[in-house]
Amino acid sequence: MRGTCGPIILLLALTGMVSCSSQDKVLVDSADEKLQQTPPSRNNYQQASPLRKKVASLLEKRNYRRAIELMGDRNQLNRPVAGMEKEYILAVNGLLDAGEVALNRGDYAVAGHAFKWVLDAYPAEPSLRRKIRWNPKKAKTCMETCSNRLMDQGLREYRHGNLESAIRTWKGIIAFNAGHKEARKAIETATIQMRSLQNLDTVVSKGGNQPRSLDKAESRPLTR
């Protein structure tokens, strides 16, 4: 009896091992299927999202301002939408680079706009602010430098009698630095003088009487 039980026990053990092995294989196969069926993570969705694709295209074209507008919150431009922080930082630093290049080549209007957009889009989140190459104070200083250089250009045009060109240059300052009082005053004064000269030309061309001379406010030259 003992001799007969030995083979039977061995056979049962082997059968159990085969059964367990088959069950384990079924469990592994089932887990693999579940992993394959698991939807991709939110990050994967973001990588393939239309917004990310648009922003990537704009960054490649160096259209940093438009990229920032797409990524910024509707109510607060300096708060990028969730998941787009990396691209937002790239865009802001890209604007700084573009502004610096324009400033160095003397294109002050372009540089001034770039620095203004940087200030408007400067991140509110402290962790993001640390990743911007310049602090806001430096960007503002460079914007003021652009304003002053354009102010000088306008004065040179003004002194050569090119009032219309001077006014156009000063208006270029207001386009990115609306609070520049000196530019606004210069525009006002030069505009009055230009209109007076136009009236003088009209009267003279019609053979009329000599108009009154310009009053002090009209004739006072601009200086810095």
pLDDT class of 62 with cuts at 50, 70, 90: very high
Which range (2-6, 68-72, 144-148) has the least confidence? 2-6
pLDDT given for residue 204 in this prediction:
61
pLDDT given for residue 21 in this prediction:
45
Question: What is the rounded average pLDDT of the residues 67-78?
Answer: 85
Distances (CA, A) of 85 to 28, 43, 55, 68, 77: 39, 13, 12, 10, 13
pLDDT given for residue 203 in this prediction:
59
148-164: pLDDT as tens digits: 999 999 999 999 999 99
Question: What is the rounded average pLDDT of the residues 72-96?
Answer: 90
Distance from chain centroid for Cα 187: 29
88-125: pLDDT as tens digits: 999 999 999 999 999 999 999 999 999 999 999 999 99
C-beta separation of 91 from 133 below 8 A: no
**pLDDT of 13 strictly over 50:** no
- The one-letter code for the residue type at 113 is H
Could you give the CA distance from residue 50 to residue 61 in angstroms, rounded to a whole number? Answer: 17
Question: 70-84: string of b/e by CB count within 10 Å (b at 16+)?
Answer: bbbeeeebbbbeebb
Q: Of 198 and 216, which is predicted with more confidence?
A: 198
